[in-house]
């Protein structure tokens, strides 16, 4: 890793507020600051999914929002849709759906995905219209900025920023290297 990545650390530790896949006691925690409309995040999505399957309970994966609204016009609403799904206990289902349909993130599609996931339509639409989850998304963005995030995807392995390629074998090797012997 580069000298810069050795000093770039998460300023907000992983906690109960975070969206997590995997056990708290996992050997490694991988945090991604991501944007549902970002093509690079879309490329990273199946890689992370495969690594998680390979490492099982040895890896905890955390997703934090970092919508790049100046270049991705639907990113903010997509992040809010994921939070609206979280309010109905379906964050990860919406997370996966958004990445799997990354080129269709306008509001009409977001409502469609909510229906496919069997979310309460009226509640979902109201929360989206009233921007109920904007504050939660903003908290993630601010924690990212404080941790030196300036693009997506940005990964942290056990709290230290990972600046190398996020190709499957390279990222997997870095995660495995972070595991205690």
**What is the three-class DSSP state of 148?**
coil
Sheet with 59-65, edge to edge strand ranges? 19-21, 59-65, 28-34, 154-157, 160-162
DSSP secondary structure letters along 91-103 = HHHHHHHHHHTTT
Domain that holds residue 37: 3-177
| pLDDT over threshold 50, residue 148 | yes
CB atoms under 10 Å from CB of 38, counted, come to 22
Q: How does pLDDT run across 156-174, given as a tens digit for each residue?
A: 999 999 999 999 999 999 9
Q: How does pLDDT run across 37-94, given as a tens digit for each residue?
A: 999 999 999 999 999 999 999 999 999 999 999 999 999 999 999 999 999 999 999 9
What is the structure's pLDDT at 24? 95
What is the structure's pLDDT at 168? 95
Residue recorded with tokens 């977001």: 110
What is the CATH classification number for the domain harbouring 167? 3.40.30.10
DSSP secondary structure letters along 67-88 = --TTT-TTHHHHHHHHHHHHHT
Cα–Cα distance for residue pair 78/94, rounded to 1 Å:
9
Cα–Cα distance for residue pair 132/119, rounded to 1 Å:
16
How many domains are there within the chain?
Answer: 1
Q: How does pLDDT run across 18-33, given as a tens digit for each residue?
A: 999 999 999 999 999 9
pLDDT band at 181 (very low <50, low <70, confident <90, very high): confident
Cα–Cα distance for residue pair 179/158, rounded to 1 Å:
9
Cα–Cα distance for residue pair 163/125, rounded to 1 Å:
38
What is the structure's pLDDT at 7? 63
| pLDDT over threshold 70, residue 4 | no
Relative orientation angle of helices 121-129 and 75-87, to the nearest 10 degrees? 140
Q: How does pLDDT run across 89-145, given as a tens digit for each residue?
A: 999 999 999 999 999 999 999 999 999 999 999 999 999 999 999 999 999 999 999
CB atoms under 10 Å from CB of 150, counted, come to 10
Could you tell me the CA-to-CA distances from 155 to 31, 94, 121, 162 in Å, in that order? 5, 21, 33, 5
pLDDT band at 5 (very low <50, low <70, confident <90, very high): very low
What is the structure's pLDDT at 2? 44
- 162, HSE (Cβ side, Cα atoms, 13 Å): 27
What is the structure's pLDDT at 61? 98
Residue recorded with tokens 């339509």: 121
């Amino acid at each position: 890793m580069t000298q810069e990545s050795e000093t770039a650390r998460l300023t907000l530790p992983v906690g109960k507020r975070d969206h997590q896949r995997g056990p708290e006691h996992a050997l490694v925690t991988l945090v991604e600051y991501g944007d549902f409309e970002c093509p690079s995040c879309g490329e990273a999505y199946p890689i992370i999914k495969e690594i998680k399957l390979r490492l099982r309970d040895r890896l905890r994966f955390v997703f934090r929002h970092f919508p790049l609204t100046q270049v991705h016009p639907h990113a903010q609403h997509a992040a809010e849709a994921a939070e609206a799904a979280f309010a109905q206990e379906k964050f990860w289902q919406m997370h996966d759906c958004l990445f799997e349909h990354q080129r269709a993130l306008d509001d009409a599609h977001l409502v469609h995905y909510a229906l496919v996931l069997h979310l309460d339509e009226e509640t979902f639409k109201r929360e989206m219209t009233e921007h109920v989850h904007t504050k939660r998304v903003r908290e993630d963005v601010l924690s990212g900025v404080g941790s030196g995030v300036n693009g997506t995807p940005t990964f942290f392995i056990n709290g230290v920023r990972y600046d190398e390629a996020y190709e499957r074998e390279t990222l997997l090797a870095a995660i495995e290297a972070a595991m205690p012997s």
